[in-house]
Chain A
Amino acid sequence: MTTETQVIDEGGHDHEHAHSPHLQHHFDTLDQQFNAGKLGMWLFLATEILLFGGLFVAYAIYRNLHPEIFEYGHHFLDPKLGGINTAVLILSSFTMAAAVRFAQEGKQGMLKLCLVLTLCGACGFLGIKYIEYSHKMVHGIFPGKYYNPDEHILEEELLGAHGHGAVAEHGRDHASSSGEETHGEGAHEESTQSAEASAQAAPAEGEFVIEKSQIVEAPEGPEGMVGIVHEKPELPKRPEKAHVFFGIYYLMTGLHGIHVLIGMCAIGWVFFRSTRGEFGPDYFTPVDLVGLYWHLVDLIWIYLFPLLYLIH
């Protein structure tokens, strides 16, 4: 009787229901099986929503009670990269939906192509995410207690985001650099390099920065302080709980990233099965369910993007 379990594992047998090899023994019809699978997936998606829900609660609480950390923190996120990533995910969602359609129509080649395209989208998303993360981390913007940003880079970043620009090369002489024009957003790489440069070139600054992880921008001595206040009134002060923003940012995008990875594994698995031509009009449940999961990953990002990147 060992065969019995094997048969179930194979996803179907037919000693009672001769009509389809895909029908598992405990279901009566393919429709029943398909709908059961869908219902199960939707229930699972509900748990995912609640799982992320916890993070959204944390977000809502801190956004409400400490809006200043969000106003401050979002300057360090690049809405361009975020926007591109949104588009990438949306496109991959589309290719996934198309994959389901091709599976339903039994078009094996297109199915495989769409799955590969979806995987490419996922890789692209993670690649961009990687760029974003590493860009922050070289600035010392780590989550939580490891948040230890380099003060000058932060100011450049902030002014850049405000359209005033920052002068990376002059990071050393920071009060006088305020009026100068910009490198703008395109200059990420440059400012990354200069982050290192200024960290090496200006050892003296560390002495003025009183407590790295406590409050406010670094005053450059008494005159510098006056200068900053007058010349750059837009420069937001670093709120005390700034690190909480980055904690939330890393947690939300990190958990989302993990879901992207899981989704990629699932798509890979479906792709593998599609290379064996397993799917067709009668049986495409795995493609459909993985698709649902992938769309959920997209859905979460649809909310994360405006909530984290697009704060006015």
Chain B
Amino acid sequence: MSEATAHHEEHHGVGHIVDWRVLIGVLVSLLILTWLTVKVTEFDLGSLNIVIALVIATLKASLVCLFFMHLYYDQPFNSIILVSSLLFVLIFILFSLLDLSAYQSSIIPDYISSLRDPAYPLDQLK
């Protein structure tokens, strides 16, 4: 709340009013970053491609969160919520990936398709 009260001189309502220059700056950067991420895909950088794509996306997302969504001016707890929700998604991804990639090698290839009745096409299976 300290943040909110700090700006009470500027206007008499609640919340923080974001400067126009900030809003427009964010908009322009978002568009540029979008263009950049499209362009960068044209180069084959191997596994770096996805890393770069994700880094740019995260940059864009941070801009949206911080300024469009006011997190920069908000009570910090809201940011904590956002970041921790992302952390839990990460936990979810990492642990299931850990397991699934560990047992891939023990899957018998074509086992499932051998169970499939060839007279019974894929798209009619119930």
Contact = CB atoms under 8 A, between A and B. Distances in A.
The answer on A and B forming one complex is yes
Interface of A: 30-31, 34-35, 38-39, 42-43, 45-47, 49-50, 53-54, 56-57, 60-61, 64-65, 79, 83, 86-87, 90-91, 93-94, 96-98, 101, 104-105, 145-148, 211, 213-214, 280-284, 288, 291-292, 295, 298-299, 302-303, 305-307, 310-312
Contacts of B42: 312
A239 B53 CA distance: 24
Contact of A31 (B14, B18, B122): B14
Contact of B13 (A65, A96, A280): A280
Contacts of A211: 121
Given A54-B92, A306-B54, 6 more contacts: A35-B75, A90-B31, A94-B26, A281-B12, A312-B42, A312-B45
11 contacts: A42-B78, A54-B92, A61-B93, A61-B100, A64-B97, A91-B27, A93-B64, A104-B15, A281-B12, A292-B69, A298-B64
A50 B31 contact: no
Given A295-B68, A303-B61, A306-B56, A94 B45 contact: no
Contacts of B123: 145-148, 213
A65 B92 contact: no
Contacts of B93: 53, 56-57, 60-61
B18 A97 contact: yes
A31 B42 CA distance: 49
A46 B13 contact: no
B118 to A, nearest CB: 9
B88 interface: yes
Contacts of A35: 1, 4, 75
A43 B64 CA distance: 17
Contact of B57 (A53, A64, A302): A302
Nearest to B92: A57
Contacts of B78: 38-39, 42
- A-B pairs, top 8 by smallest CB distance, nearest first, are A281-B13, A53-B89, A306-B53, A46-B85, A310-B41, A34-B14, A312-B49, A94-B27
Interface in B31-67: 31, 34-35, 37-38, 41-45, 49-50, 53-54, 56-57, 60-61, 64-65, 67
A135 B75 CA distance: 45
B1 A83 contact: no
A94 B44 contact: no
A311 B12 CA distance: 49
Contacts of B20: 101
Contact of A65 (B5, B30, B54, B101): B101
B57 A306 contact: yes
B114 interface: no
Contacts of B115: none
B92 A101 contact: no
A288 B125 contact: no
A65 B104 contact: yes
Contacts of A281: 11-14
